[in-house]
Amino acid sequence: MSGLLVHPHVPDQDGFILQITPASAGWSYVGFSVLELPPGKVVSRPTDGTEVCLVILTGRVRIHAGDQDFGLLGERESVFDGLPWSVYIPAHSRWTMEAETAAEVAVCASPAEGKLPARIIPPSEVGEEVRGKGTNTRHVRNILPDTGVAESLLVVEVVTPGGNWSSYPPHKHDTNDPPRETYLEETYYHRLKRGSGFALQRVYTDDGLLDETMAVSDRDVVLVPRGYHPVGAPHGFDLFYLNVMAGPVREWRFTMSPDHAFLTW
């Protein structure tokens, strides 16, 4: 089995079905976890030396961060149903969450100093765009883009209709040479609209030292430490993924695969 493909497990006592740390991933910046909470469940965590973006994937939860009560947030029944509510929490703070309904929440993290205040990122502040054309069309929801306010964290959702390609043409961001390219580690959290079937993701480098093609199922995570990383959604299976990126420079600058340079992004 690929070391880049991480499957979910049954919820632990706190509700985590996925917990990826820099240590477990073998890199330095990105942490990513997912909570699956029943109504009434409470979970609390310190942020320590990381900033955190809580993305409410589905359901409704009450969130406290530091000394702020952000109240009841969330409205989606499915990740395919519109834009998310999220909460940004700085380093050296603490967040507490109580589920009002059954809920699924992503915990996105990366190193920070704690320079910024906690805040809500409502759907009205999520930039939405259509990227690509034809069978390369996908719908992008920018939760915490590099134009947004954070220290190192980048967070984005993408919905890819069945039969289309995404993160395509293939691109990479594994060399720290700004402004041409920036080094960014990345996770892909996949959800399939039908809850069954599969999508495909390839992670590969020009020298061939890394070349893995993975069939991903609902709730799988793919780690992208380096290389190109295109995604294909088979016909009839709409695909959602949540991307988390972080690196030494908070800019998304990438290089296209030379083989695909004739294609438009």
How do strand 61-65 and strand 94-99 relate by DSSP bridges?
A: antiparallel
Instruction: Report the amino acid identity of residue 61.
Output: V
How do strand 85-89 and strand 16-20 relate by DSSP bridges?
A: unpaired
Distance CA 123, CA 128 (A): 10
Question: Which two structure tokens, joined as six digits, stand for 183?
Answer: 């080094």
Residues in the chain: 265
Q: Check residue 229 and give its pLDDT.
A: 98
- Domains detected in the chain: 5-260 (2.60.120.10)
Taking the whole predicted model, whether its pTM rises above 0.85 is answered as yes
Q: Check residue 262 and give its pLDDT.
A: 86
- 24 φ, ψ (degrees, to nearest 5): -70, -30
23 three-state secondary structure? helix
Percent of the chain with pLDDT over 90: 97
Q: How many CA atoms lie within 13 A of 200 on its CB side?
A: 10
Instruction: Report the amino acid identity of residue 231.
Output: V
pLDDT bin (cut points 50, 70, 90) of residue 1 is low
Please report which helix (H) or strand (E) contains residue 22, including its range: helix 22-25
Nearest CA to 17 among 133, 104, 138?
A: 104
Residues 116-142: tens digit of each pLDDT? 999 999 999 999 999 999 999 999 999
CA 251 to chain centre: 16
Q: Check residue 261 and give its pLDDT.
A: 83
Sign of torsion over alpha carbons 240, 4, 199, 59: negative
> What does the mean pLDDT of the chain come to?
96
Indicate the DSSP class of residue 83: P
β-pair partners for 85: 56
Distance CA 204, CA 226 (A): 8
Residues 181-206: tens digit of each pLDDT? 999 999 999 999 999 999 999 999 99
Q: Check residue 265 and give its pLDDT.
A: 66
Nearest CA to 255 among 191, 189, 176?
A: 176
Distance CA 170, CA 190 (A): 18
